[in-house]
Structure 1
């Protein structure tokens, strides 16, 4: 779920660019002025619009805040007739066609958000039907329909299936379930990266550990989505890596790898293009959610505390999906997202999208009546739209932020 674009997105763009350059390159990027007022964030949504919108809605739901109807309506309106979602369709009234770049990640994220909000069964059922129709023979999913399975895409689809009331282990193609695909993408318990998940196999067929994919893989192997309820794990800390005959053991192995990769302060590191290491805020948030899902509260809490002290500026620079990531991490650990080191994450997220009408109370009604009596014209307020800079999409693509393979 970070604010780097995922390797899945990069791979999909490369494939689509090779297959249909006109569709990928001929359309100008939408300008901030042309973006719908119901969309979260004011940066180009052509790769992550539905993803970031879904995370924003899901995070508000997790925090007990009702998202604006306009924002929910924008998301449901992005669905194609076959049930799939593209990252962004500037004209939802136009039918999707072969050039519409739909993908599994946006579709699965939308399902998770709308299932959590409730009342959108027709949309989610159609989306789940499409996801099932594009399942690969190894049981997994790639970013685009027919693309090679990867851990991130398979895991976010598992989360969507579970959120929609499906049993992921029973969704099969050629006798293979999503869990079979994940087990095939986990590194063995010997050598470097033991127990981690790879994004996809390397060209030579080998597997390379990927922190982003590992956090996603832990959630997927547990049959969970982006919204993790606090205190629902098994409560047992991950031990040393054990050969993984079951998805549950694979999740334990992945969690053990993540725990071993965290610094003493509790965060993951990323290598910059210049070769320098720096804190990786997005993947650390992913790790918090994954570890919390496994019930490893002590490590998840420690990493969350580090985020609370250090990640506010990162979120402010990165945008809605980053705020959503942190809110989901807070929810997974039972923390208060409205007091994130002095920052109200929910308020910051809501400021990046359409404003919701304030709830009317007797006190406010009385105040408005008094104003009306004292003024010959009365007072009418229009709810404004406040868009702030910043884009974020997740692993969870997730963000789905385009992440590079190691």
Structure 2
């Protein structure tokens, strides 16, 4: 996933990020009719499977049982070899050159979150393993150079499925080796260390920090997947990459997660709680999608306090991103963030539910899921208890005085 609206095909995504096309052109594909079971009403050509997968993952976390048509649409998009395309019109045959690792990775995570789809999940994982590059990475479409986003998403799917990425290898290079290709190490300027580049091959081999690539690859680097549901918390801030050997270009696996979260923490602080994207010919603009993935990665890594400002920003400014709840992919992403941060999920859940078929069942959110954590609240709780006791004592005294007065009368 390389843009907020997906633009789904790697050709368009890479053009936005690097100016280089890297996938089959889809310009001649006619605009399809939006299926009834699909979340969102916009053209699904480039993001149908992506937004459906995010929506189903987020709704599963919100204890919403989606309609059979919604789940059936996603499983029906899977090809016989196990991969998913960005979108396949009803009745259209699968075409291997349009299957992509991003759609497959998020679809696998969605079906795991829903439960009960072992065969489809196993086939999807096998497709990912079969289409790993010789350097350990994944490309958007098989046969192309790998990139950080696609590799990170594939690692997310492997982790969700219980497969150790260190043991998923091609030509002796593991998935973690593939991810490490894109992380900036000690040879980079100090303020760039820990970041991820999108696709060095498209930039003459140079590693240049990219916000969205960093946000998405970070979740894999810290050992996470969708949905993020960890309650881990480390009070200390993430540690920047230590460089006893300034000539070390590669980031050791043991330091990868901490290095990228330290980089993200600094970037978010400098940006007022959000990351920024700069596209050719355009002014710098807030990057909602990258910020959301950065927040998820920080929470997964045990640094939720470093993510709080970003979550606040997304909740306050995210209307433009979600089109006030009209964009299914963005709304689902916002719901995933609010769930991970233990914020109030009611609004995003309602907006997302309204964008698809009526769910089969919905559970009311619990108090724990709708409370923003603010550290130790025990003092406030004791004040409430004390006030309650005083009210009770005062009420008892008043009743006693009234009884005595009535006896005198």
When normalised by structure 2's length, the TM-score is: 0.78
Counterpart in the other structure of 2:71: 72
Mean CA deviation greater in 263-272 or 347-356: 263-272
Cα distance between partner residues in 2 of 1:29 and 1:275: 27
Preserved CA contact (<8 Å) 1:40 1:56:
yes
Question: Equivalent of 2:350, from 342, 347, 356?
Answer: 347
Q: CA deviation at 1:12?
A: 7.1
Match of 2:380?
Answer: none
Two-structure CA RMSD over aligned residues (Å): 2.4
Higher relative contact order (CA 8 A, sep 6+): 1
Q: Are residues 36 and 242 of structure 1, via their aligned partners in 2, closer, same or farther at CA, if it must alter by over 3 Å?
A: same
Checking the alignment, whether the CA contact within 8 Å between 1:236 and 1:295 is kept in structure 2 is: no
Matched, 1:319 2:333: no
For the 8 Å contact 2:11–2:22, the answer to whether it is kept is no
For the pair 1:10 / 2:12, whether they are aligned, the reply is yes
Q: Is the 8 A contact 1:222 1:248 kept in 2?
A: no
- Residue 231 of structure 1 deviates from its aligned partner by 1.8
Q: How does 1:292-331 map to 2 (within 5 A)?
A: 292-316=299-323, 319-331=327-339
Q: Which residue of 2 aligns with 1:49?
A: 48
Structure 1: segments with no counterpart, 5+ residues: 339-343, 361-406
User: What is the aligned partner in structure 1 of residue 215 from structure 2?
Assistant: 215
Q: Deviation at 1:9?
A: 5.3
How much does 1:260 deviate?
1.2
1:132/1:312 Cα in 2 relative to 1: closer, same or farther (>3 Å)?
same
Once the two structures are TM-superposed, the CA of residue 357 in structure 1 deviates from its matched residue by 4.5
Contact residue 230 and residue 333 of structure 1 kept, 8 A: no
State the Cα deviation string for residues 289-338 of structure 1 (Å, max 9, x = none).
11111111211112111222221343125601111111111122122211
Q: Check 1:75–1:180 CA distance in 2 against 1; reply closer, same or farther (3 A cut).
A: same
Pairing of 1:221-232 with structure 2 (within 5 A): 221-232=221-232
Going by fraction, where is helix more abundant, 1 or 2? 2
TM-score normalised according to structure 1 size = 0.79
Deviation at 1:225, TM superposition (A): 1.4
2:293 pairs, out of 262, 280, 286, with 286
Aligned to 2:152: 155
Aligned to 1:96: 94
Q: 1:10: how far off?
A: 2.6
Match of 1:184 in 2: 181
- CA distance in structure 1 between the aligned counterparts of 2:159 and 2:22, rounded to whole angstroms: 29
Do 1:40 and 1:352's aligned partners in 2 also have CA atoms closer than 8 Å? yes
Q: CA separation in 1, counterparts of 2:265 and 2:284? A: 18
Aligned match of 2:170: 173
With over 3 angstroms needed to count, the CA separation of the structure-2 counterparts of 1:264 and 1:51, relative to structure 1, is closer
